[in-house]
A and B are shown apart, each in its own frame.
Chain A
């Protein structure tokens, strides 16, 4: 392997590490807040669920069917109608930076660390 390839690989790895660091930093910012699970369809908020509950959210749109399982602190895609099932194989997620995307169904699930606007407007201290 020559020098040019090594430089290219180095640059890509440095960018990857930088973005990884940024992800961790963004995750840190959210830590300590109450976590909610937001389920989006085509980028629009479909449902917002407290992560510490147990709930199965069924989604049925023209793009496909999905079942999102929220189980006290963690979330996973339980079932999906798409053929590749990438989102199901993703497994459990529990951190704010993690998310599950099901492209065929245009569904994505993310964990938000900040409280929903309007849910609790003010807390007296």
Chain B
């Protein structure tokens, strides 16, 4: 244990964050090819949220925020869609903030599924607010709300279960003991 000085810890953390980021990017990319049986196009499972949720349990606020922003920006570059990157960013940051608060306030009382569903719900709210601002019409957002709320429950349930399993494994991982 004496060998693990401060520098070692920093390297471990950097490696951990790099792994999370690359995983999030790959998941976000692969997700495009998973068909979602929903009448409204643009609805997706939000599997990259698994990584954000995992990060929230092991990293601090600044590091998680950096991870979310880097993920959205790099996904924007990969998908070649810089404009819709801004819409993802609004939802991503709002859902991140909500999940961060929930974890800091009630870490042991709430399951990852609960946090994930709330996060997914606020992700969609964030995007609807942007849609409302751009179209300057509250009704447009209202029309999309029901289907997005239901998809948040389904997507949040899935990502919450996955993140719960991952966090469980990582908690018993020697690599992360002193991060």
Do A16 and B114 touch across chains, with their CB atoms under 8 A apart? no
Number of A-B contacts (CB under 8 A): 92
- B contacts with A: majority SS: helix
Looking across the interface, which residue of chain B has its beta carbon closest to that of A95?
B143
- B114 and A8 form a contact (CB under 8 A): yes
Interface flag for A32 (CB, 8 Å): no
Tell yes or no: A9 within 8 A of B by CB: yes
B58 at the binding interface (Cβ < 8 Å): no
**Does the CB pair A4–B140 fall under 8 Å?**
no
Q: Which of A74-102 contact B (CB under 8 A)?
A: 82-84, 86, 89-90, 97-99, 101
In the bound assembly, the distance between CA atoms of A83 and B111 in angstroms comes to 37
User: Quick one: CB contact mask for B121-143 with A, threshold 8 Å, 1 for yes?
Assistant: 10000000011001111011011
B79 at the binding interface (Cβ < 8 Å)? yes
Across the interface, name the chain A residue whose C-beta is closest to B117.
A8
Q: Spot the interface stretch: B22-30, B64-72, B80-88, B166-174.
A: B80-88
A91 to chain B, nearest CB (A): 9
**Cβ of A63: which chain B residues have Cβ within 8 Å of it?**
83
Q: Contacts A84-B81, A86-B42, A103-B131; is A13 near B149 (CB within 8 Å)?
A: yes
Which interface class (under 10, 10 to 19, 20 to 34, 35 or more) fits B? Answer: 20 to 34
Given A12-B153, A101-B131 in contact, is the A19-B40 Cβ separation under 8 Å?
A: no
- Is A104 engaged at the interface, CB distance under 8 Å to the other chain? yes
Tell me the complex Cα distance, A23–B131, Å: 17
Given known A-B contacts A98-B143, A99-B143, A83 and B134 have beta carbons under 8 A apart? no
Contacts of A99 in B (CB 8 A): 139-140, 143
Q: Is B37 an interface residue (CB 8 A)?
A: no
The A contact surface, by secondary structure, is mixed
Q: A residues near B, CB below 8 A?
A: 1-2, 4-5, 8-9, 12-13, 15-17, 19-20, 22-23, 26, 40, 42-43, 63, 82-84, 86, 89-90, 97-99, 101, 103-104, 106, 108, 110
- 17 A–B contacts, CB within 8 A, in A order: A4-B111, A5-B117, A8-B114, A12-B152, A16-B149, A17-B146, A23-B146, A42-B136, A43-B134, A43-B137, A82-B81, A83-B79, A83-B81, A84-B81, A84-B84, A101-B140, A108-B137
Residues on B lying within 8 angstroms of A by beta carbon are 40-42, 79-81, 83-84, 87, 110-111, 113-114, 117-118, 121, 130-131, 134-137, 139-140, 142-143, 145-146, 149-150, 152-153, 157
Top 8 closest A-B pairs, CB basis?
Answer: A43-B136, A16-B149, A89-B41, A20-B146, A104-B83, A86-B42, A108-B135, A16-B146
Known: A15-B149, A82-B84, A90-B41. 7 other contacts (CB 8 A): A5-B113, A13-B149, A16-B149, A19-B142, A23-B143, A23-B146, A43-B135
